[in-house]
Amino acid sequence: MNVTDEPTQIPGPPAGPTAPPGAPGEPQPATIQRHRPAARPAAAPPPAQAAGAAPGSGDLTDELLRSDQWTDAMVATAGIPVTDKPFVSIGGGIGSFVTVDYLRIAGVTPDRIAILSNLDFPWQTYEYLTRVSQIPRPERIRSDSASRPDNIWGFPSYALAEAVHDRSLGPLWHVFREPMWADFYTPKAGQVFTGLEREAKRIGYWQMLVKGQVRMVRKRQGGGYFIILTPMVGSTPTKRLAFRAEFVHLAVGYPGLRYLSELQDFRTEHQDFHHVVSAYEEHEHIYETARKKHTVVMLRGGGIVASRVLQRLMDDRAKYGLSTDIVHLFRTYITASHGPNAWNRRKGGNGFAYQGFNYPKSVWGGQLKAKMRTLEGEDRAKEYKLMGGTNTPWRRRWQAQMNEGRAAGWYRTMAGTVDHMRIENDMIVSEVKTANGKVEVAADFVIDCTGLEADISEHRVLADLLQHSGVGRNPLGRLDVERTFELRGTASGPGVIYASGATTLGGYFPGVDTFLGLQVAAQEIADDLARRGFCPRIGPARSVSQWLKWARNAQP
């Protein structure tokens, strides 16, 4: 009952953490990056670096750029001002927020923590992504009732809070009947954001936030790390600031999104970013066009975002009496329940694999979580494959809408891949390779809902880390973390780098890029920090007293 599933933070508008804010000379982040083979850092040539700055300039010198390990003197020679903070969290999205929330509740004071981010508030990227992918504030996200990033206890759950707020037993009755007689209860996006704002104020989040773009993390000779931040233009006398920390936490979110290659080729060739879009980009114009004329929309992908976009198209169709036709193309078409045996069978049909949340629920606390902790290498990768794959919830409303569309012929599904796309008579024609041969599908718009993710080396901070820190990759190619979420190979004296979120997918814990997954990671990190003497371990008495403070909205 403790599950969640929305992406946490992805570089992209309005503020992508892959480029320094306000640095006109440097390229801005691309929301969508070209689908290309993953570059292995060991084989990839080091990224071209501009020559280092002159010593004393307050910028990165050649010596700093080249060295895996820095001394205090090297940073001083560069003229970069240094701030000491025992704990620094990089990212500033929900991953940073949840971790810092845990530490504050454990008793760490705000002056011992710095959060480095170009985001103004932790849910900024998340809210942008949910909004454009058709989950505005009044809509419900795909997340469990007890997965509250603003409440480490998950009590009261969102359902209970909503019941109290609305003076209605409805939400509780819903949870009681789920999932047999009701779809899983999920909270409204607005409820989540309101709660996050309250908790952020309570723990003094903005006291700890330092705005800017993190450039790199390097080991410090003698222990700990230096983190280089490019602050907001004009906010400091030097171009860079350095933070000297014993503990670093990386929560930079998704390294980026990738486009399907044929879609990217089409966009590049025709410079058309209007008719072929990603669901994670603003694409309101498609819904507006559909309200003015008959429109054919082609959807790609079978996950939650495809379902959401599909719902919006179907809602609009019903609400405004539109004649929109929808062609839904699946690369992998699921026809029925699937799995290796009766104990591992996931529901499916009409193209979709059905699952309440993005993993089976027990990865967040039950037997799958316990099992995954024991698996290594290939065994772990195999288990990921078994429980993974694109999936979406089976929701009554969506089923009714799709059934209606299938019966009336305005919603069609296909299985196949697209070799090539072209423009013909103002339509986008996709040449679809199916089991029965090639079929051409003409549509006014193509929406890519596949949500492919970029390789971690495409994120600047992670690329630098791969090159200079000694961190390795896990069986899924992401950052290799211990069960405590410590990055393997990056220890520096007593110092530790932790990572949580999407960059660690493939580790001992699968549900990393979810609300509850971030809390699982935060708990492991806080407990590990307690073992290292950084903070007290939260025991039952402290937990209860802190919960009472949470309930009263009093500072931890």
Partner 1 sequence: MLPTLDGRIQTRIALLAVVGGLVTLIIGPLLPISAPLSTVYQDTFLILLAVIILGIGWECLYHFLMQWRWEKDWPTFFGLVTAIPEGLLVWGLLQAGAIPGIKGTVPTGAFVIDFLVVWIVVWLVANGPMRVPFIRWRFRGGRLV
Q: Which residues bind partner 1 (CB under 8 A)?
A: 1-2, 146, 152-157, 160, 175-180, 339, 342-347, 355-356, 360-362, 364-370, 520, 523, 538, 540-541, 543-544, 547
Residue number, 236 or 523, with CB nearest to partner 1: 523
Nearest approach, Cβ of residue 362 and partner 1 (Å): 4
- Yes or no: say if 259 and 278 are a contact pair by the CB < 8 Å rule: yes
Residue number, 212 or 360, with CB nearest to partner 1: 360
Residue number, 255 or 356, with CB nearest to partner 1: 356
Residue number, 131 or 371, with CB nearest to partner 1: 371
Nearest approach, Cβ of residue 528 and partner 1 (Å): 13
Q: Which residues contact 26 (CB under 8 A, 6 or more apart)?
A: 19, 20
CB-CB neighbours of 488 under 10 Å? 16
Residue number, 168 or 367, with CB nearest to partner 1: 367
Q: Which residues contact 19 (CB under 8 A, 6 or more apart)?
A: 26, 27, 28, 29, 213
Q: Which two tokens stand for residue 237?
A: 């006398």
Nearest approach, Cβ of residue 527 and partner 1 (Å): 8
Strand pairing report for 427-434 and 417-424: antiparallel
Over the Cα atoms of the chain, what is R_g? Answer: 24
Amino acid at 300: R
Residue number, 142 or 275, with CB nearest to partner 1: 142
- For residues 503 and 517, give the distance between their C-alpha atoms in angstroms, rounded to a whole number: 12
- For residues 198 and 555, give the distance between their C-alpha atoms in angstroms, rounded to a whole number: 11
Amino acid at 495: G
Q: Which two tokens stand for residue 360?
A: 């089976």
- For residues 4 and 284, give the distance between their C-alpha atoms in angstroms, rounded to a whole number: 26
Nearest approach, Cβ of residue 65 and partner 1 (Å): 41
Residue number, 20 or 511, with CB nearest to partner 1: 511
Nearest approach, Cβ of residue 365 and partner 1 (Å): 4
Q: Is 358 left (phi over 0), alpha (psi -120 to 50) or beta?
A: alpha
- For residues 68 and 63, give the distance between their C-alpha atoms in angstroms, rounded to a whole number: 10
Nearest approach, Cβ of residue 428 and partner 1 (Å): 37
Nearest approach, Cβ of residue 105 and partner 1 (Å): 9
Residue number, 324 or 355, with CB nearest to partner 1: 355
Residue number, 173 or 232, with CB nearest to partner 1: 173
Q: Is 448 left (phi over 0), alpha (psi -120 to 50) or beta?
A: beta
Nearest approach, Cβ of residue 1 and partner 1 (Å): 6
CA separation, residue 475 to residues 37, 459, 465, 508, 512 (Å): 17, 19, 18, 10, 15
Nearest approach, Cβ of residue 483 and partner 1 (Å): 12
Helices 124-132/189-202 angle, 10° precision: 170
Residue number, 114 or 353, with CB nearest to partner 1: 353
Amino acid at 108: V
Nearest approach, Cβ of residue 170 and partner 1 (Å): 15
- Yes or no: say if 354 and 348 are a contact pair by the CB < 8 Å rule: yes
**Which residue, chain included where needed, has tokens 């691309």?**
30
